[in-house]
Amino acid sequence: MREVMRDFAGLIMRGTGFAFLVASLLGILSLYFLPAASFCAAAMGLVSLRLGAGRGVLLALAVAVPVTACGYLFPPRPGLELPLLVLIGPLVLGAAALLRRDGRQGPALLFIGAVCMAGAIAIELISGNATAFWKSWLQHAVKGVKGATVEGFEENGTLVLMNGLIPLLVGASAFLTLLLARWWQSLLYNPDQFGAEFQRLRLPRAALAVAVALLVLAYFGRPALVMHLLLVGIMMYAFQGLAVVHGVVAQRGIGWTGWLPPYLALVFVPQFGAVGLAVLGAVDALANFRRLPAAERKVA
């Protein structure tokens, strides 16, 4: 798998034409097969990480032309008129610019989380009722999914959480896409350094204080926003929790059996696994389990 991914990343970095061709094909495919959006955005992220934010933005603008044309000629199913690539692409490019600048994944994750929180707040304030907003969207989107109904989302309680779940999923997808791009870069130019960089991922202590303050303000101003912002916060600190697990396991030389349980939890009981990792990540913001120095060494 490593060889296949390295060859694929090498194809993207072979030249501007190859990067445009690969990203365009993936972007068009993402209109009808959502996971392809992450690979397309990762290709843009790789170019941005290696050649600079300007080159990444230019590639994104160029790719937008064939993707938009294809979407116009062959409209995707209802609910996907706004491609997923439009949501995660800018997040990946912005996060890649931060990661390229100082070599730390924490600020990149913080940027993605902050934008997702801002999106949840904006939808609530602009629509006046985020639940009604997402219900209207679902009534349109379920037309393209056989057997799906809005009533099903209402009965299982998902509808009232949509304004937090959607930013959570978008944010998680964007950061995982950034990690994919960084891994590709590591395979090509910095072998074996990707893991060490992820193990040092840490959000600043001030971010935890700001998150708590936002939750308090939401409780007194817009109570419906509390759970929505909390879901985005869980996404952010779950990644830090994973980094803590990997970092401690590496420091103690435990091996793969040390980091396997959290991934099993995320697969089989994702709600509990994510919350558990988020709690670990939030506590690490105060306790610093990995004893990371205040100024981390940059990984090119």
124-128, 147-151, 237-241: range with lowest mean pLDDT: 147-151
State the Cα–Cα distance between residues 264 and 273, nearest whole angstrom: 8
- Residue 91 pLDDT > 90: yes
Percent of the chain with pLDDT strictly greater than 90: 79
- Whether 299 has a pLDDT exceeding 50, the answer reads no
The token duo for 264 is: 């099993």
Comparison of pLDDT for 78 and 116, the residue scoring more: 116
Q: pLDDT of 251-269, one tens digit each?
A: 888 877 788 999 999 999 9
Domain positions in the chain are 2-287
Predicted local confidence at residue 167, as pLDDT: 97
Q: Does residue 16 carry a pLDDT above 50?
A: yes
pLDDT bucket at 292, cuts 50 / 70 / 90: confident
- 14-41 burial, b at 16+ Cβ within 10 Å, e below that, comes to eeeeebbebbbbbbbbbbeeeebbbbbb
Average pLDDT, the chain: 92
CB < 8 Å & 24+ apart, contacts of 291-299: 292/200, 292/202, 292/247, 296/103, 296/104, 296/200, 297/103, 298/102, 298/103, 298/104, 299/103, 299/190, 299/193, 299/196, 299/197
Give the separation between CA 79 and CA 67, rounded to whole angstroms.
Answer: 17
pLDDT higher than 50, residue 108: yes
Write down the pLDDT at residue 255: 78
Please give the helix or strand (H or E) that residue 235 lies within, else none. Answer: helix 224-252
Task: Give tens-digit pLDDT for 186-233.
Answer: 999 988 889 999 999 999 999 999 999 999 999 999 999 999 999 999
pLDDT of residue 300: 41
User: Cα(11)–Cα(184) distance, rounded to whole angstroms?
Assistant: 11
**End-to-end CA separation in angstroms for the chain:** 23
pLDDT surpasses 60 at 150: yes
Tokens representing 95? 């996060």
Q: What pLDDT is attached to residue 297?
A: 43
Contact 178, 95 (CB under 8 A): yes
- pTM, two decimals, is 0.94
